[in-house]
C-alpha cells in the first residue's frame, strides 16, 4: 500500500464523487421498493423518504392472502419455485450431456450442435416469444407449466452448453485417456471423472438457469393465464391492470419475489462471477 | 475443440479411442439427443412456422401503413444508438472505477450488481411509482423544492422513452461493467508501469494502453448488447406499456402487442423487419465465439 499523502486524499475524494452517485443510482429503485413494503398506505403515498411508522403489516397481508389480488399468492409462489427448479434441473441435464459429448467424446457433428446452440443464444428472446407462443398452442401445452419449463430450458440451454463446453475444454485430456486405459466406459468416465471436476461450473449454470426461470416475465405472461397456474411476476403484472392497484401490497409482493434470487445470487456469487462472465464474451 | 486437438498432435492412429470409436460415438449421440430434440421442437419448428406466417406481402404493407410501426422502428433505433452507446461508455468508465483497490469500492461493487441479480418487474414497478405524477416521490420532492408541479413523466412520449432507456441502462449496466472489468484486469500491469515511467497522464494511459487492449472486447460487447437490447421487452412494456398512445413501443413490445390483438401475421412481420439487423450481428457473434 502507498503512503498517505495529500494527493491520495484528492484521489479518494474524486473516487467518492463517482462512488456516491453510483450508489444512489443503483439502490434508489430498490430502496423505494423496500420503503413501500414497510410503509403504511398513507405514508407511502405522501412521498416520504422514510415512513413515520415503519411496519411489517403489509407482509402479513400478503402472507395471509388477505386481499383480492393476493388470493393465490402461495400457489403462485409455489408455481414459480417448481418451474424454476425444473428448469434448473432439466437445463443442467441437457447441457451437461451435450457439453460432455461435444468436448470430451468429440462426437461427430458436435461442432454443428454447438453452432446451433449459439444461434439460439443470439435470437432476441422477445422475438422468439411470438412463434414460441403459437408453437406451444399447437403442441397443446398452453396454460400448462410444461410450456414455460420447455421455453425456459430452450432459452437457458445454449448458454449453459457454451459455458460448460468452455470449462470442459480446459480439463486435461490425459485424465480421459488414463480412465479409458483402465477400461472405463464413456458413462463411467462421465460419472466418475467428468462430473466431479465440473462441479463448480455446474453450480454456476444451475444457479443461472434457476434465476433465469424465476425472473422471467414475458414468456410466463404469454404462456400461462389461469390465476392459480401463473407465476409471481405475472401476478405482479396483473396488479397493474387494475384501476385501484394496492401499490403498497404490490411492492411488498415484489420485494418478497425479488429476495430469493438476490439471496441465491449472493450465496453462489463465487461460482457465478467466474463461471458466467468467463463464457459470456471471449476476449 | 482447439484445446484438445492441440494437446494430442502426437497421438497414434492405434489409440484405445479408435477401438471404441463406435461405442463412444453412440454414447455421444445419445448424450446430444436431448438438446437436439429441444432445439428441433422449440427452435426449428417455431422459427420456421413463424417465418411461414410472415410470408404474406400484405402483412408488410399493413405494417408499413400502421403509424405505430414507424414510431416503434424509430424508437428501436433510438434505443440502440443512444441507449447502447451510453450504456457501454458508462460501463467502460465505471469498470475503471471498480478495479481501484479500495475496500469501500469492493463493497460498492457487491451492491452494484443488485439491479442485474434481482428480477425486472419489482424494480421497474418501483420506478414507475416513483415517477407517478400525483403520488410519486419524485414529484413530491420537486413540489417541495420549487413549489411547482413536476412533469407528467410517463405520459409524455419523449420523456417516457428516455425513462425506458434509463431503465434498460439501470438493469444491464452492472453486467457489462463486470465484463469490461474482467477485460481491464487482464491487461498486464507492467504496461501501465512502463507508461507511468514515461510520464503518461491518466488519459494517455487509457488512450495508449487500456483502449488498444480493450477495443475488441468493447466492440463485441456492444454488438452482443445490441442483440439483447432488441429483445428487451420488460424495460419498455413494464414501465410505459408502450404508451402514451402507443408512442413508446419498440419492435419487441410491438410484436407482442400485435400478438395480444390476435394479429399474428403482423406480429411476425414486425419481427422479420428486424432480421436485416439481427442476422449480420448473429453471424458476426457466432464467428467470434466459435473460433
Q: Summarize pLDDT for B137-196 with one digit per residue, the tens.
A: 888 888 888 888 878 888 889 999 999 999 999 999 999 999 899 889 888 888 888 888
CB hemisphere CA count around A231 (13 angstroms):
28
B2 interaction partners in chain A (CB closer than 8 Å): 169
Whether chain A has a CB inside 8 Å of the CB on B77: the answer is no
* pLDDT at site A76: 95
* pLDDT at site B289: 76
What is the distance, to the nearest Å, from the Cα of residue A110 to the centroid of all Cα atoms in its chain? 27
CB–CB of B92/B86 below 8 Å? no
On the question of pLDDT at A106 being above 70, the answer is yes
| Cα–Cα distance, B46 to B102 (Å, whole number) | 50
Whether chain A has a CB inside 8 Å of the CB on B20: the answer is yes
Q: Closest to B217 (Cβ–Cβ): which among A18, A215, A283?
A: A283
* pLDDT at site B8: 44
Q: Mind listing the pLDDT tens digit for each residue in B22-57?
A: 778 888 899 999 999 999 999 999 999 999 988 889
A123 interaction partners in chain B (CB closer than 8 Å): 43, 47, 231, 278, 282
DSSP state of B229: H
- Stated pTM of the model: 0.89
**Residue B236 has which C-alpha cell?**
419498455
Task: Decide if A22 and B97 are in contact by the 8 Å CB cutoff.
Answer: yes
* pLDDT at site A243: 65
On the question of pLDDT at A174 being above 50, the answer is yes
Q: Mind listing the pLDDT tens digit for each residue in A11-44?
A: 888 889 999 999 999 999 999 999 989 988 777 7
| Cα–Cα distance, B207 to B193 (Å, whole number) | 15
A127 interaction partners in chain B (CB closer than 8 Å): 230-231, 252, 255, 271, 274, 278
Window 26-55 of B: residues touching A by CB (8 A cutoff) are: 27-29, 31-32, 34-36, 38-39, 41-43, 45-47, 49-50, 53
Which range has highest mean pLDDT (A67-71, A179-183, B60-64)?
B60-64
On the question of pLDDT at B122 being above 80, the answer is yes
* pLDDT at site B2: 36
Q: Write a three-state SS string for chain A.
A: CCCCCHHHHHHHHHHHHHHHHHHHHHHHHHHHHHHHHCCCHHHHHCCCCCCCCCCCHHHHHHHCCCCHHHCCHHHHHHHHHHHHHHHHHHHHHHHHHHHHHHHHCCCCCHHHHHHHHHHHHCCCHHHHHHHHHHHHHHCCCCCCHHHHHHHHHHHHHHHHHHHHHHHHHHCCHHHHHHHHHCCCCHHHHHHHHHHHHHHHHHHHHHHHHHHHHHHCCHHHHHHCCCCCCCCHHHHHHHHHHCCCCCHHHHHHHHHHHHHHHHHHHHHCHHHHHHHHHHHHCCC
* pLDDT at site B10: 46
What band does B121 get if pLDDT is binned at 50, 70 and 90?
very high
Instruction: Give the Cα-Cα-Cα angle A256, A260, A263 (nearest 5 degrees).
Output: 125
Whether chain B has a CB inside 8 Å of the CB on A17: the answer is no
On the question of pLDDT at B60 being above 90, the answer is yes
Window 171-210 of B: residues touching A by CB (8 A cutoff) are: 174, 178-179, 182-183, 186
| Cα–Cα distance, B89 to B177 (Å, whole number) | 10
On the question of pLDDT at A212 being above 90, the answer is yes
* pLDDT at site B7: 41
Closest chain B residue to the Cα of A233, Cα to Cα? B121
Centre a 10 Å sphere on the Cβ of residue B8 and count the other Cβ atoms it contains. 14
Whether chain B has a CB inside 8 Å of the CB on A25: the answer is yes
* pLDDT at site B27: 87
On the question of pLDDT at B74 being above 90, the answer is yes
Task: Decide if A122 and B286 are in contact by the 8 Å CB cutoff.
Answer: yes
Q: Scanning the structure block, which residue is given the C-alpha cell 392472502?
A: A65
Window 53-92 of A: residues touching B by CB (8 A cutoff) are: none
On the question of pLDDT at B11 being above 50, the answer is no
Instruction: Give the Cα-Cα-Cα angle B198, B201, B205 (nearest 5 degrees).
Output: 80
On the question of pLDDT at B6 being above 50, the answer is no
A:B CB pairs within 8 Å:
308
Task: Decide if B125 and A236 are in contact by the 8 Å CB cutoff.
Answer: yes
Q: Mind listing the pLDDT tens digit for each residue in B196-232?
A: 888 888 888 899 999 999 998 899 899 989 988 998 8
* pLDDT at site B3: 38
Task: Decide if B178 and A49 are in contact by the 8 Å CB cutoff.
Answer: no
Mean pLDDT, range A132-147, rounded to an integer: 94
CA distance, residue B215 to nearest chain A CA (Å): 10
* pLDDT at site A274: 67
Task: Decide if B31 and A250 are in contact by the 8 Å CB cutoff.
Answer: no
CA distance, residue B280 to nearest chain A CA (Å): 11
- Give the closest residue to A102 by CA, choosing from A92, A111, A91: A111
| Cα–Cα distance, B247 to B158 (Å, whole number) | 9
Instruction: Give the Cα-Cα-Cα angle A57, A63, A68 (nearest 5 degrees).
Output: 90
Mean pLDDT, range B98-122, rounded to an integer: 91
- Give the closest residue to B31 by CA, choosing from A103, A178, A171: A103
CA distance, residue A119 to nearest chain B CA (Å): 7
Amino acid at each position: 500500500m502507498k503512503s498517505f499523502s495529500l494527493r491520495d486524499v484528492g484521489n479518494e475524494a474524486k473516487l467518492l464523487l463517482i462512488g456516491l452517485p453510483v450508489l444512489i443510482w443503483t439502490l434508489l429503485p430498490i430502496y423505494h421498493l423496500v420503503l413501500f413494503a414497510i410503509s403504511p398506505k398513507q405514508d407511502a403515498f405522501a412521498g416520504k423518504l422514510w415512513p413515520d411508522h415503519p411496519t411489517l403489516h403489509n407482509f402479513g397481508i400478503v402472507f395471509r392472502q388477505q386481499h383480492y389480488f393476493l388470493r393465490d399468492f402461495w400457489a403462485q409462489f409455489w408455481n414459480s419455485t417448481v418451474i424454476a427448479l425444473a428448469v434448473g434441473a432439466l437445463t443442467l441435464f441437457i447441457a451437461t450431456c451435450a457439453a460432455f459429448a461435444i468436448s470430451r467424446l468429440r462426437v461427430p457433428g458436435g461442432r454443428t450442435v454447438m453452432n446451433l446452440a449459439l444461434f439460439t443464444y443470439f435470437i432476441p428472446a422477445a422475438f422468439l416469444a411470438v412463434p414460441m407462443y403459437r408453437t406451444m398452442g399447437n403442441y397443446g401445452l398452453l396454460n400448462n407449466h410444461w410450456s414455460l419449463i420447455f421455453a425456459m430450458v430452450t432459452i437457458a440451454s445454449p448458454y449453459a452448453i457454451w459455458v460448460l463446453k468452455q470449462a470442459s475444454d480446459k480439463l486435461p485430456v490425459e485424465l480421459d485417456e488414463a480412465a479409458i486405459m483402465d477400461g472405463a466406459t464413456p458413462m463411467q468416465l462421465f460419472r466418475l471423472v467428468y462430473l466431479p471436476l465440473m462441479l463448480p461450473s455446474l453450480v454456476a449454470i444451475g444457479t443461472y438457469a434457476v434465476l433465469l426461470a424465476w425472473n422471467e416475465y414475458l414468456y410466463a405472461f404469454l404462456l400461462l393465464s389461469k390465476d392459480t397456474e401463473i407465476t409471481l411476476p405475472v401476478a405482479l403484472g396483473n396488479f397493474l391492470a387494475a384501476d385501484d392497484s394496492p401499490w403498497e401490497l404490490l411492492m411488498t409482493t415484489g420485494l418478497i419475489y425479488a429476495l430469493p434470487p438476490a439471496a441465491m445470487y449472493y450465496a453462489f456469487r463465487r461460482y457465478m462471477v467466474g463461471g458466467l462472465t468467463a463464457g459470456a464474451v471471449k476476449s | 475443440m482447439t484445446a484438445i486437438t492441440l494437446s494430442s498432435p502426437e497421438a497414434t492412429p492405434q489409440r484405445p479411442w479408435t477401438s471404441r470409436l463406435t461405442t463412444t460415438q453412440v454414447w455421444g449421440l445419445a448424450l446430444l439427443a436431448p438438446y437436439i430434440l429441444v432445439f428441433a421442437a422449440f427452435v426449428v419448428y417455431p422459427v420456421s412456422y413463424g417465418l411461414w406466417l410472415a410470408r404474406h406481402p400484405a402483412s408488410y404493407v399493413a405494417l408499413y401503413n400502421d403509424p405505430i410501426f414507424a414510431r416503434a422502428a424509430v424508437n428501436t433505433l433510438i434505443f440502440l444508438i443512444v441507449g447502447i452507446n451510453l450504456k457501454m461508455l458508462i460501463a467502460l468508465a465505471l469498470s475503471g472505477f471498480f478495479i481501484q483497490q479500495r475496500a469501500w469500492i469492493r463493497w460498492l461493487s457487491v451492491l452494484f450488481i443488485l439491479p442485474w441479480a434481482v428480477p425486472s418487474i419489482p424494480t421497474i414497478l418501483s420506478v414507475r411509482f416513483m415517477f407517478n405524477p400525483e403520488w410519486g416521490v419524485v414529484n413530491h420532492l420537486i413540489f417541495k423544492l420549487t413549489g411547482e408541479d413536476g412533469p407528467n413523466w410517463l405520459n409524455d412520449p419523449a420523456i417516457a422513452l428516455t425513462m425506458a432507456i434509463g431503465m434498460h441502462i439501470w438493469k444491464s449496466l452492472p453486467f457489462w461493467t463486470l465484463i469490461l472489468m474482467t477485460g481491464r484486469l487482464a491487461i498486464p500491469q507492467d504496461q501501465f508501469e512502463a507508461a507511468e515511467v514515461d510520464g503518461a497522464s491518466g488519459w494517455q494511459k487509457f488512450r495508449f494502453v487500456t483502449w488498444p487492449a480493450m477495443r475488441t472486447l468493447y466492440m463485441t460487447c456492444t454488438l452482443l448488447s445490441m442483440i439483447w437490447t432488441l429483445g428487451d421487452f420488460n424495460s419498455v412494456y413494464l414501465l410505459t406499456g408502450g404508451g402514451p398512445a402507443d408512442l413508446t413501443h419498440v419492435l419487441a413490445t410491438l410484436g407482442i402487442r400485435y400478438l395480444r390483438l390476435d394479429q399474428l401475421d403482423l406480429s411476425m412481420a414486425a419481427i422479420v423487419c428486424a432480421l436485416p439487423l439481427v442476422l449480420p450481428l448473429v453471424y458476426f457473434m457466432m464467428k467470434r465465439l466459435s473460433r
